[in-house]
Structure 1
Amino acid sequence: MAPLPQELFDTIIDEIHDKETLKACALAATSFLPPSQRNLFRKIRLGGHRSRDASASLAEFPHLVSYIRDLTIYMWDMVSNFAAVAAVLRSVQNIESLAVFGRAVNWNRLGYEASSALLDCLSRPSLRFLYLSSMRGVSAALISAATAIPVVSFFHIRLDVREEISEQLHASAPAPRLRHLILGDAGPAVRLICDFLLHPRKPAYTQQIERLEIRIDQHSASYDKRIMTACAATLKYLAVSPADVIRLPLLPSLLEIEIKVFVGDSRRLPAFFAPNLSQIASSLPFVETITLVFVVEPLHPEVEWPDGTPLPIFGLSFMNRTQLLHLRQVHCKLLHRNVFSEANALFDRFVPAIESMMPGLHGTGILECTLDDSQHEL
Structure 2
Amino acid sequence: MSVVPPELLDDIVREIDDLESLKACSLVVSTLRHTSQRILFNSLTIDIKNFTAIRDLLTGSPHIAHYVTSLRALLAGLDVESFGRILPKLQNVRKCFLDGVWYSSRRSSAPLRSGIPPIILDFLTRQPLRTLGLMSIHIPIAVLRNLVKIIPTLYFLAVGIEDGADAVPAHTVSQPPVERFALNSLFLIGNDVGQFLAHPHNISCVAALRHLSVRPQGSGWAGALIEGASSTLNHIEFNCSSYPPPALPHLPALRTVGFTFSGQIIPSARAEIISQTANVLSTLAVPQMSPALAKIMIIQELARDGAFDPSPYLPLITMLDKALAAYPIPVSIGWTLRLNDGETQFKHFADSVRRGMPKAHSVGRLLLEAYVPSTTRIKKVGGYSYYS
TM-score band (shorter)? 0.7 to 0.9
TM-superposed deviation, 1:151: 1.4
SS in 1 for 2:93: coil
Q: Note the residue ranges of structure 1 that are not aligned, 5 or more in a row.
A: none
Q: Note the residue ranges of structure 2 that are not aligned, 5 or more in a row.
A: 104-111, 377-388
SS in 2 for 1:76: coil
Work out which of the residue numbers 281, 289, 310 in structure 1 matches 2:295: 289
SS in 1 for 2:311: coil
Structure 2 residue aligned with 1:159: 161
| TM norm structure 2 | 0.80
Structure 2 residue aligned with 1:100: 98
The Cα offsets for residues 23-45 of structure 1, whole Å up to 9 and x where unpaired, read as 32222112222222222211111
Give the CA RMSD over aligned residues: 3.0
CA distance in 2: counterparts of 1:201 and 1:335, whole angstroms: 41
CA distance in 1: counterparts of 2:273 and 2:122, whole angstroms: 45
User: Would the alpha carbon gap of residues 294 and 111 (structure 1) be closer, same or farther in structure 2, given more than 3 Å must change?
Assistant: closer
CA distance in 2: counterparts of 1:217 and 1:348, whole angstroms: 34
TM-superposed deviation, 1:19: 3.1
1:364 and 2:363 aligned: yes
User: Would the alpha carbon gap of residues 197 and 308 (structure 1) be closer, same or farther in structure 2, given more than 3 Å must change?
Assistant: closer
User: Would the alpha carbon gap of residues 53 and 8 (structure 1) be closer, same or farther in structure 2, given more than 3 Å must change?
Assistant: farther
User: Would the alpha carbon gap of residues 308 and 17 (structure 1) be closer, same or farther in structure 2, given more than 3 Å must change?
Assistant: closer
Q: Give yes or no for contact 2:100–2:135 (8 Å, CA) kept in 1.
A: yes
1:180 and 2:178 aligned: no
Structure 2 residue aligned with 1:139: 140
The Cα offsets for residues 185-240 of structure 1, whole Å up to 9 and x where unpaired, read as 3xxxx2x313432343444410110010011133x3x1111111110110111101
Alignment of 1:22-61 (within 5 A): 22-47=22-47, 52-61=52-61
User: Would the alpha carbon gap of residues 55 and 2 (structure 1) be closer, same or farther in structure 2, given more than 3 Å must change?
Assistant: closer
CA distance in 2: counterparts of 1:206 and 1:133, whole angstroms: 21
The Cα offsets for residues 331-352 of structure 1, whole Å up to 9 and x where unpaired, read as 111022x4xxx22221111111
How many residue pairs match? The answer is: 352
Structure 1 residue aligned with 2:319: 313
Q: Give yes or no for contact 1:45–1:51 (8 Å, CA) kept in 2.
A: no
Alignment of 1:349-360 (within 5 A): 349-360=348-359
Structure 2 residue aligned with 1:90: 88
Structure 1 residue aligned with 2:107: none
User: Would the alpha carbon gap of residues 308 and 289 (structure 1) be closer, same or farther in structure 2, given more than 3 Å must change?
Assistant: closer
Q: Give yes or no for contact 2:204–2:228 (8 Å, CA) kept in 1.
A: no
One-letter amino acid matched to 1:118 = L
1:150 and 2:152 aligned: yes
The Cα offsets for residues 249-280 of structure 1, whole Å up to 9 and x where unpaired, read as 31232111001122443379512313423433
One-letter amino acid matched to 1:45 = T
Structure 2 residue aligned with 1:128: 130
Q: Give yes or no for contact 2:113–2:136 (8 Å, CA) kept in 1.
A: no
CA distance in 1: counterparts of 2:314 and 2:26, whole angstroms: 62
User: Would the alpha carbon gap of residues 254 and 355 (structure 1) be closer, same or farther in structure 2, given more than 3 Å must change?
Assistant: same
TM-superposed deviation, 1:2: 6.1
Structure 2 residue aligned with 1:266: 267
CA distance in 1: counterparts of 2:222 and 2:29, whole angstroms: 56
User: Would the alpha carbon gap of residues 41 and 128 (structure 1) be closer, same or farther in structure 2, given more than 3 Å must change?
Assistant: same
SS in 1 for 2:362: coil
One-letter amino acid matched to 1:260 = T
Work out which of the residue numbers 227, 230, 238 in structure 1 matches 2:228: 230
User: Would the alpha carbon gap of residues 116 and 367 (structure 1) be closer, same or farther in structure 2, given more than 3 Å must change?
Assistant: same
Q: Percent identity of the aligned residues? A: 19
| TM norm structure 1 | 0.82
Answer with 137-146 or 226-235: which moved more: 137-146
One-letter amino acid matched to 1:358 = M
The Cα offsets for residues 151-203 of structure 1, whole Å up to 9 and x where unpaired, read as 111111111262576747x66x8x42111100133xxxx2x313432343444
Q: Give yes or no for contact 1:69–1:94 (8 Å, CA) kept in 2.
A: yes
TM-superposed deviation, 1:134: 1.3
User: Would the alpha carbon gap of residues 20 and 55 (structure 1) be closer, same or farther in structure 2, given more than 3 Å must change?
Assistant: farther
Q: Give yes or no for contact 2:256–2:296 (8 Å, CA) kept in 1.
A: yes
One-letter amino acid matched to 1:266 = P
Structure 2 residue aligned with 1:347: 346
CA distance in 1: counterparts of 2:7 and 2:357, whole angstroms: 56
Q: Give yes or no for contact 1:269–1:305 (8 Å, CA) kept in 2.
A: no
Answer with 194-203 or 9-18: which moved more: 194-203
CA distance in 1: counterparts of 2:280 and 2:114, whole angstroms: 44
User: Would the alpha carbon gap of residues 45 and 52 (structure 1) be closer, same or farther in structure 2, given more than 3 Å must change?
Assistant: farther
CA distance in 2: counterparts of 1:8 and 1:203, whole angstroms: 49
